[in-house]
Amino acid sequence: FSGCTSLKSIAIPAQVEMIGSKAFYGCKNLLTVRIRSSVLKSIGSKAFLKTGSKNYKKLKVIVPKAKLKAYKAILIKKGISKNAKFIGK
């Protein structure tokens, strides 16, 4: 999905263990990233760089509540803006 400007929302299924490099790189109109997986083991480099760059403050990242702290740290390292709103559900 790298560079896809029409993508506005994504949902990563519960069984996903890996997200590849630059998977959502440059998806500047993305507003919602929902990660249902609590078994995510790796995220490739720059996987989320420039994701939601049209307006980082509107970007919502929803992750499993038990993984909120860990996933937030990893996702920021992989490119998600610190200005995104991280939600644990």
For residue range 47-66, what is the model confidence (pLDDT) as tens digits? 999 999 888 999 999 999 99
For residue range 25-51, what is the model confidence (pLDDT) as tens digits? 999 999 999 999 999 999 999 999 999
What is d(CA 11, CA 7) in angstroms, rounded to the nearest whole number?
Answer: 11
Encoded amino acid at 1, one letter? F
Per-residue model confidence (pLDDT) at position 72 = 97
Q: Is the pTM here over 0.85, yes or no?
A: yes
What is d(CA 82, CA 36) in angstroms, rounded to the nearest whole number?
Answer: 20
